[in-house]
Structure 1
Amino acid sequence: MFNTRGEVMLTHFFRRPANFKRMITALLAAGAIAFTVPAPSRTAMPPARPNGIEHTLFTQVLADHVKDGAVDYKAIKTDPRFPQYIAVLQKSNPEALTGEEKLAFWINAYNAFTIQYVLDKYPVKSLMNKLSYVTGGGTFKTKFIKINSRKYSLNDIENDIIRPMGDPRIHFALVCGAKSCPPLRAEAYVAGRLSEQMNEQGRLFISQSDKNRFDFEKNEIAISKIFDWFKDDFRKNGKSELEFISHYLPPEQAQKLLARSATIKVKYTEYDWDLNE
């Protein structure tokens, strides 16, 4: 123990900041004391997407093997990331999803399983024809898709799940594997960007002259048969399919189309069912 004199001397020693600082430095150097920073709590923040499904693998596959809408099926067939993504879809529970998460999931599922169906038949010139696409027969009726222990066909996904969600822009995003389909986007659809992504696909699809042509000098247009087959989807809220299309045209063309919508002659472009490769 310190005697009274020693205690007084120690008190005076610590009253001088320089002395206190030197002692702390010496103790730290000697390892006599140590400071620890607590690790961040593992439960400090809840997961951002507790029910979300990761679509990164699909984006990687599409980014590497899709160019200007053309799909390199041969390359995807040997890419291990694609079956890994299919496994993600199969193990998912879409019933736990809502809103954009749910719509993005089913659009990606439709496109991914269409690719899977092509790969199972590849090499092949075409999987579809007009009759099977419009009636939901053939390829579209086959229940080869298994998600969360339930079986679906492409027809089930499109007509029983996606279309009833009420957004006609899905027709810009769903790709049935034919050249005249809208181009396959080189990334997966994701919640938070879904509306932006579908709008971009709409502008791209409408601008493709092999699918949609606008000749205002002749007062006639030739548009994709998608606008005929699914006209009821585009005519919701009392609007016509031409009004819908106008949103994806440059402003000058949109004004002309709306001004002439009552008199302009509408034809439909021939649908190319060859594989979109």
Structure 2
Amino acid sequence: MTRWFVVALFLVVFPLTSHAFDQHHTQWTDQLQKYVVWVRDGMASEVDYMAWQKDRGALTRYLQQVSAVPEREYQRWSRNEQLAFLINAYNAFTVELVLQNYPVDSIKEIGSWFSSPWKRRFFMLFGEECSLDDIEHRMIRGRYGFDEPRIHFALVCASVGCPALLDEAYIAIDLDRQLDEAVSRFLSDRQRNRFNVTTGRLEVSSLFDWYSRDFIGFRGGETLKDFFRPYAQRLSGDLVGQKQIGQGRVLLEFLPYDWNLNDHR
């Protein structure tokens, strides 16, 4: 058996590119552009779940590719490739969970008294049965995670109160820009974050209450209020309010969270 025959046989059995994962997540972007609809001047998005449920083949194929990635391959990727992969996986499996149970008025209807929808193990990742909580709290936010609070504006919960689902995948080469834009977009949405001129309080999403520890220390800030300082003009059109926010001299109030499905009907 010649050396070249052995090499050729190896390439047939173990092709070099057979497991190469598309780091641009093209299939996911194609689906998002078909079924995500921007609303409120681009500050929020809705999803056409009804249409998507009738055409789930491409989403299924993308999720199969995600589930097929071996952990050893994932570990060889750059930090941004890993984080983009996990964000996209979380969002795509969230959509899949809704489609499996649609129609529903809220993702919380999918859970039960004993298990929330985020704890339901309904997909495979790195060779194990996983839940959405496994991705968010163990892989992204866990002890050996990414220390990246901006993920709270990228991970979506299929609800009106959550940040917008982008009409494109997160990709490593653009990840920092995409995360910054996600923060700015969410904080510019007056329905979920705003300065109340009458009360002098900064009214913000409950996300900042639930995950307050994640935001403290980001880019040198020492308190939760410091996180909002660079976004004063996004949060308020009032000059006095902008000054108070920019100086960190503002009282915070957490707004009720809207768990209604972000359904485009």
Q: How far 1:255 sits from its partner (Å)?
A: 5.0
Q: Distance in 1 between matches of 2:120 and 2:198?
A: 45
Unmatched 5+ stretches in structure 2: 1-15, 39-44
Residue 103 (structure 2) aligns with: 123
Is residue 243 from structure 1 mapped to residue 226 from structure 2 by the alignment? yes
Is residue 101 from structure 1 mapped to residue 81 from structure 2 by the alignment? yes
Unmatched 5+ stretches in structure 1: 1-45
- The answer (yes or no) to whether the contact 2:161–2:258 under 8 Å persists in 1 is yes
Match of 1:231 among 201, 208, 212: 212
- The answer (yes or no) to whether the contact 1:51–1:96 under 8 Å persists in 2 is no
Q: Greater RCO between the two (CA within 8 Å, min separation 6)?
A: 2
Q: For 1:1-277, list aligned pairs within 5 A.
A: 53-68=23-38, 69-79=45-55, 80-93=57-70, 94-128=74-108, 137-163=115-141, 164-216=145-197, 218-236=199-217, 237-250=220-233, 256-262=243-249, 264-277=250-263
- The answer (yes or no) to whether the contact 1:128–1:178 under 8 Å persists in 2 is no
3-state SS, counterpart of residue 67 of structure 1: strand
- TM-score by length of structure 2 reads 0.77
Q: How far 1:217 sits from its partner (Å)?
A: 5.8
Superposition CA RMSD, Å: 2.7
- The change in CA–CA distance for 1:88 and 1:249 in structure 2 (over 3 A counts) is farther
Q: Aligned residue pairs: how many?
A: 226
Residue 9 (structure 1) aligns with: none
Q: What amino acid is the match of 1:55?
A: H
- The answer (yes or no) to whether the contact 2:105–2:260 under 8 Å persists in 1 is yes
- The change in CA–CA distance for 1:51 and 1:121 in structure 2 (over 3 A counts) is closer
Q: How far 1:112 sits from its partner (Å)?
A: 0.3
Which aligned segments of 4 or more residues in structure 1 are displaced greater than 4 angstroms?
251-255
Q: How far 1:270 sits from its partner (Å)?
A: 1.1
Identical columns (%): 35
Q: How far 1:177 sits from its partner (Å)?
A: 1.1
Q: Distance in 2 between matches of 1:61 and 1:248?
A: 31
- The answer (yes or no) to whether the contact 1:51–1:97 under 8 Å persists in 2 is no
Q: Which has the larger radius of gyration?
A: 1
